[in-house]
Structure 1
Amino acid sequence: MAFGADELRVLRRALAVALNPAPLDDEAVRDCLRLAESLDEAAREAGRLRAFLLADLTRYRAALPGSATGYLELLQDALAAGYEPGPDDLAALRALRGTPAAAALLERCRTLAERSVRARLARATPAPRTRLLALPGGRAADEPKDPGPQRPAPGARPVPKPSEAFPPRRRPVQPPPEHRAAG
């Protein structure tokens, strides 16, 4: 993205105001709004251009091997614009690696794809958990030390035993052998 002299003047004035806030006259505000609109339009145009480039790349890849030269040029342009090669690109380059340009581009794409996968894995890996430590103070510091076993308070429910909470499963009662025979 390139700026003209007028746009640079407006940008410099906007940055100066951002660093040292001061009231702006109406003309300066209109200039800043026009610059913002121009930047938004340039960003939208870059998105449209990127979409067109990727669609073109897909069409050339589908027409391989007949479109090898055009595909390699488009792929280089896409890589220069920040495109991350996918599995389809790597497979296409493997099929074309007989040419020196495709072999060199394959190595570059392998490196970029590996770097991309590593970055995605690094973002997906959760941070190591830190151990929780008990800090002195809080409610436990205000309570007296445990003198040992005590009787439960009146009206308190006793803690159930595991056999009471989870009673053993009973086997179903089976009918006597003479009733089980099919007749």
Structure 2
Amino acid sequence: MAFSADELRVLRRALAIALHPTPLADEDIQDCHRLADSLDEATHEAGRLRAFLLADLVRYRDALPGSATGYLELLQDVLAVGYDPRPEDLAALRTLRGHPAGPAVLARCQDLAERSVRARLALRTAPAPRTRLLALPGGRAADEPRPQPKPKPEPAQPHPKEPVPGERPVPKPSEVFPPRRRPQPPAERLAAG
């Protein structure tokens, strides 16, 4: 992302104000708002461009092997902006080993995919930070012997067939859904005649 000279001037002033808070003039506030709007627009446009590139990458990958050169170039472009190769990309690159650039791009993608998997696993296995301090070591209580707490006896588990006092028994299906009675056909009347 590139800034114009005006945007850099506003950014410098905003950083200076953040470091040394002072009252702002209305013009400075408006400049900061315009800069924020420009940054939002640039971020939105970058997101749109990334989505377009990724959709284009899928189209090129689906058209392989005829689009090998275009696919490899586009894949290198999206890798440069932080794209993590997917299993489909690795499978497609394995089919392009005969292409001059295929093996090098495959090696790079395998390395990036491995780093990405390791980073995700590290996040999953990292212990959550403790939010509460339960006890502080030291003090007078640290010198005194502590009595060991007595284990609490476990409550006796009732037998599954025995009803637990105070609980309603589970109804049988026939009690909840009584059998349906079939309607009886109307009795035929014999007419005298």
TM bracket (short chain): 0.7 to 0.9
User: Quick one: structure 1 residues 8 and 168, their matched pair in 2 at CA, closer, same or farther if it must change by over 3 Å?
Assistant: closer
Shift of 1:134: 9.7
What is the RMSD computed on CA atoms of the aligned residues? 3.2
Q: Which residue of the partner structure matches residue 11 of structure 1? A: 11
Q: Which residue of the partner structure matches residue 48 of structure 2? A: 48
Instruction: Show structure 2 runs of 5+ residues with no match.
Output: 162-193
What amino acid is aligned across from residue 119 of structure 1 in structure 2? A
DSSP-derived class of the 2:84 partner = coil
C-alpha distance in 2 between matches for 1:28 and 1:129 = 41
Per-residue CA distance 1:77-99 (angstroms, 9 max, x = gap): 00001000000000000000111
DSSP-derived class of the 1:17 partner = helix
Percentage of matched positions with identical amino acids? 67
C-alpha distance in 1 between matches for 2:8 and 2:61 = 41
Per-residue CA distance 1:147-179 (angstroms, 9 max, x = gap): xxxxxxxxxxxx9898xx357899xxxxxxxxx
User: Quick one: structure 1 residues 87 and 27, their matched pair in 2 at CA, closer, same or farther if it must change by over 3 Å?
Assistant: same
Report how many residues are paired: 151
Greater helix fraction, Structure 1 or Structure 2: 1
DSSP-derived class of the 1:92 partner = helix
C-alpha distance in 2 between matches for 1:65 and 1:107 = 19
C-alpha distance in 2 between matches for 1:161 and 1:13 = 67
| TM-score, normalising length: structure 2 | 0.69
User: Quick one: structure 1 residues 26 and 167, their matched pair in 2 at CA, closer, same or farther if it must change by over 3 Å?
Assistant: closer
| TM-score, normalising length: structure 1 | 0.72
Instruction: Show structure 1 runs of 5+ residues with no match.
Output: 147-158, 171-183
Per-residue CA distance 1:26-56 (angstroms, 9 max, x = gap): 1111000000000000000000000000000
DSSP-derived class of the 2:101 partner = helix
- The ranges of structure 1 where at least 4 consecutive aligned residues each deviate by more than 2 angstroms after the TM superposition are 126-130, 132-138, 159-162, 165-170
Per-residue CA distance 1:10-37 (angstroms, 9 max, x = gap): 0001111111111111111100000000
DSSP-derived class of the 1:89 partner = helix
- Kindly report which structure 2 residues correspond to 1:1-183, keeping only aligned pairs within 5 A, or say none: 1-127=1-127, 137=141, 165-166=156-157
Shift of 1:126: 3.8
Shift of 1:137: 3.7
Shift of 1:100: 2.2
